[in-house]
Structure 1
Amino acid sequence: MKSCKVYIAGHTGMVGRAVVRSLERAGYGDVITADRCTIDLRDQRSVQEFFATKKPDIVIDAAARVGGILANRNFPYQFLMENLQIQNNLIDSSLDHNVQKFIFIASSCIYPESAPQPLREENLLSGPLENNTEAYAVAKIAGVKACEAIRQQYQKQFFSLVPTNLYGSFDTFGAEKSHVIPAMIRKFDEAKVNGNTPVTLWGSGRPFREFLHVDDLADAVKFAIENKMEENLYNVGTGSDLTIKALAELIQNIVGHTGEIFWDSSKPDGTARKLMDVSKLKNKGWSSSVELQDGLCKTYEWYSNNKKYI
């Protein structure tokens, strides 16, 4: 298995970088990556020519246009169309060039807003999606279903991993595109530097969220490469959650900010709770290992060492 050619699409992103690190540490000797100058994943011809040249055995689709609630609300067309273009080209080229295994990285936003907790793989398409991330979710659902169709029609190992909220090194910390953890880390750090000024956070702080360190997801990808995956869809998470308020206080303590926290309830909370049922993957032999406190400390350390470049 470790002699296979593994192409990681999206290797410059947080997930792709983590997968590259994980596979190289594990001894995979032929990990294929390509920057945007080499391949435009939105262009069908570019992707087909790349596959014809490189002939990968395994493909990890970690390429996507991603962002937080604000970015999703402001750019729904780009989140829908660019993600459809990227994943469709990768999936179709993988089928055309006889890729042995294709792993599609989906998102927990594919599940309905009102789905019962914890979220099970069977909840897919059982109700309306959360409004703020609907365009991104529709694109991801299309990718999941494309892999499922190939699996059914061609009996190939095309399947999807559905991670919960991710965080870690190389996350996006900019104000316009960041998710909750990097946004909080940056806000608390900047407030600390400016004399522990107050920090204002979106929403009420009451929603519950689950968070997975990106290194855990990368380990799950390696597990999926090395094992036969009988199902089309697998949740990847920790199986535990906490309130956004508790998360904020935890990050505030790690950063060392001692000022006040204000909550702007005029901003959206999003779904009240998003907890993953991770029993399907756990029963196959994989579970997360990075505790939230440790993962947040590692992430803040990385941010502190790299913030001047961000």
Structure 2
Amino acid sequence: MSVQRLGYFGIEASDVDAWRSYATTRLGAMEASASAGTARFRLDSRAWRFQVAPGTSDDIAFAGYEVDTENELLAIKQRLKDFGVKVTTESAELAAERGVLGLISCTDPTDTRVEIYYGGTELFEKPFASPTGVSGFRTEDQGMGHYVLAVPDVGEALDFYIQGLGFHLSDIIDWQVNPEVAARVYFLHCNGRHHTLALASLPGGKKLHHFMLETISLDDVGLAYDRCVEDEAVVMTLGRHTNDHMVSFYGGTPSGFAVEFGWGARVVQPGWSVVRYDSISTWGHKFVARP
């Protein structure tokens, strides 16, 4: 028994209004209803996929992983307890605030809050409509996307996510970030998405390196790239990754980490073999120098 997909994601930000503008006008997400001071955003028929709440860290606040049934939630709870993780069964009030039927939580070795739930809220009667005309985001059985965590102890983090939450290793990239910095990045999947989570010891001072949204059209990526070029918000140029084959670019966010905006990733199939790569991209993904 494992978690089945990344269902939602939380960010703590010093400027929520800047995120409202960024998420809608650059990423094409649809703003959803939320409590006072907090912004939530839709990517599909779910009531929300990521939220931005006031705070000083400008970093990840929590990640919410979905399972399909209450019995599977109980199985994950027991799996975590067997692995030695303290698990909290959250209150009905917090479950209602998240819009789910059942909710448990724990913390990973980086002290990042992890929530597991079942029964997310659908808004099928209120279709997703992107304010920038994004044709759609790839979610459904693959979840809302992926994210990359900078961790001080990769081995400890891998144990938690593989042994505790049931992730599987997809592959490894030895990334030469720049002439002075090299990192081994571990990519993990829990469904057909090539990776829902990646772990590495990375510089930068934040736990969250980036999170990724995948569109259903290459044109959506090109149009978003043009918007970010106009605003001088591109961090890494268009490129294609070696391992998941995604065509994407990276944009800077109001909180200082990046968002990857991509299309065309391949799917993990039965019989998948773990391999390693010497390069993160086959072409592109060049860092953009700032004046």
TM normalised by structure 2 equals 0.28
Greater helix content: 1
Greater strand content: 2
Question: Rg: which structure is higher?
Answer: 1
